[in-house]
Amino acid sequence: MNALLISAVMGVLMMFSSFMLKSKSAVRNVALAGMFLILVANILDTYGWHLFNIPTEGMMHFDRFSLFFNSIAFACTFIFFLLSARDMEKVGINYAEYFSLIFFILCGIVLVASFQSLLILFLGIEIISIPLYILTGSDKRNLKSNEASLKYFLLGSFSTGIMLMGITLLYGHAGSFDITVLIKAGEKPSSLAIAGLLMLLFAMAFKVSAAPFHFWTPDVYDGAPTVFTSFMATIVKAAAFIGFMRLFSTAFYSLHDQWQMVIAIITALTLLIGNITAVFQQSIKRMLAYSSISQAGFMMLALFALNGTATEGLFLYVAAYSLATIGVFAVLIKMKDYTFEGFNGFARHHPFLAAVNTVFLLSLAGIPLTAGFLAKFYMLKAAVEAGGFLWLVIFAVLMAAVSVYYYFRVIQAMYFKEGDAPVSMEVSRPFQWVLGVLAFLIILLGVFPNALLYWFYF
């Protein structure tokens, strides 16, 4: 609750700061301070220090699951601000408004992570989506950005329509939007409930860009300004997954048999399409878009399994994936040329950046000693424990092997190819420090995953 209210207030405050504060660095500092405040408030909330006492019974439920995820998301956003806030200046003139929109998105993330009524889920998803449409199109003169924004908007609101239809059909079946009522109603499923469940499943699959509904992802991620792609591909996607997980582990748990097969097929398709298409990409930005689809496939394994390991694994995966992807994007933003050739000889000119970038890419590929490896391991373990679908696990391992190819192409370009790797702007010292800390965190989580998971229980 703390975080929700503070981030809403921060959003409004940032809008005012656009004309109250003259210099951009002042705006940036306000945003950073606000982000830090939200993170601290959320951690206080976790340990019983509620700054506001508002009854949200039947609408939202702030349990450990949601509060812990919020902390991860806020920490990632804080790191994102530290790394990339300076680069937002290049997108357009409305510098403070971009921050304000991001704070509003964070409100939506809190709602999605802690909903108890489908109404709040719907509101949360919309509060995330609508500012994202704007951020995608924020580069107003750039035709690619326009196209991406329009495409995202049309497909996004179409999927919202489908989702609303699903919610309505479930309401027709159960007579309530409350997920505790839905669990009981699910024990005697009717055709209405199944149809509603499937529609909701498809709409959520769209939001997390799972396979048959992934068409928008590469175009939107490619067209959006790179700073915002970094935010969209990590924190927002993670939030959508947490909402998905919360929905299916509570409301639809009693219908488990009906949807498990569907989820298994979606997972396999997502892994296949994401990984195979990523191999053929020339632009690293587009490759990262496809890689985010394939990583979504791995996160779908948690949804498929839905046991204790899956919950822990999802948190670890979300943290590992977000940190690594934010890092890779932060380096990518500094480059002039987004193709693989643009990275030729990068290691010679910027040895430190190349080294941390390698750590991020290794983590995404799932090489041992990085967080990505353990995250993938937890996912596969959860899927094996769920039982019965061994082919899916074997398939996921094969696809992880494929993914090594395209991540290593970047490393190969950085270290083993000749070139001058043009960088479009200078790299400041604090930026390097933050990247170094990020890489350290990833290795730390890869060696001691309990450093993160411990906080889930205590």
Residues that bind another protein (CB under 8 A): 119, 122-123, 126, 130, 133-134, 137, 140-141, 143-144, 146-151, 153-154, 157-158, 160-162, 164-165, 167-168, 171-172, 175-177, 218-219, 222-223
What are the angstrom distances between the C-alpha of 118 and each of 121, 174, 240, 388?
5, 12, 14, 31
Helix (H) or strand (E) holding 71: helix 64-84
Q: Which of 299, 298, 293 is nearest to 278 (CA)?
A: 293
**Cβ nearer to another protein, comparing 181 with 384:** 181
Q: In whole angstroms, how close is the CB of 29 to another protein at the nearest point? A: 29
- In degrees, rounded to 5, the angle at the alpha carbon of residue 219 between the alpha carbons of residues 136 and 159 is 75
Q: Which residues of 180-208 are buried (b: 16+ CB within 10 A; e: fewer)?
A: eebbebbeebeeebbbbbbbbbbbbbbbb
Q: In whole angstroms, how close is the CB of 437 to another protein at the nearest point? A: 35
What are the angstrom distances between the C-alpha of 393 and each of 244, 258, 367, 386, 388?
21, 20, 17, 11, 10
**Cβ nearer to another protein, comparing 91 with 452:** 91
Q: In angstroms, rounded to a whole number, what is the distance separating the alpha carbons of residues 158 and 152?
A: 10
Q: In whole angstroms, how close is the CB of 96 to another protein at the nearest point? A: 19
Q: In whole angstroms, how close is the CB of 20 to another protein at the nearest point? A: 25
190 DSSP 8-state letter: -
Q: In whole angstroms, how close is the CB of 137 to another protein at the nearest point? A: 5
* Tokens coding 290: 């496809």
Q: In whole angstroms, how close is the CB of 390 to another protein at the nearest point? A: 37
Q: Which residues of 295-323 are buried (b: 16+ CB within 10 A; e: fewer)?
A: bbbbbbbbbbbbbebbbbbbbbbbbbbbb
**Cβ nearer to another protein, comparing 284 with 453:** 284
**Cβ nearer to another protein, comparing 177 with 241:** 177
**Cβ nearer to another protein, comparing 291 with 363:** 291
**Cβ nearer to another protein, comparing 138 with 344:** 138
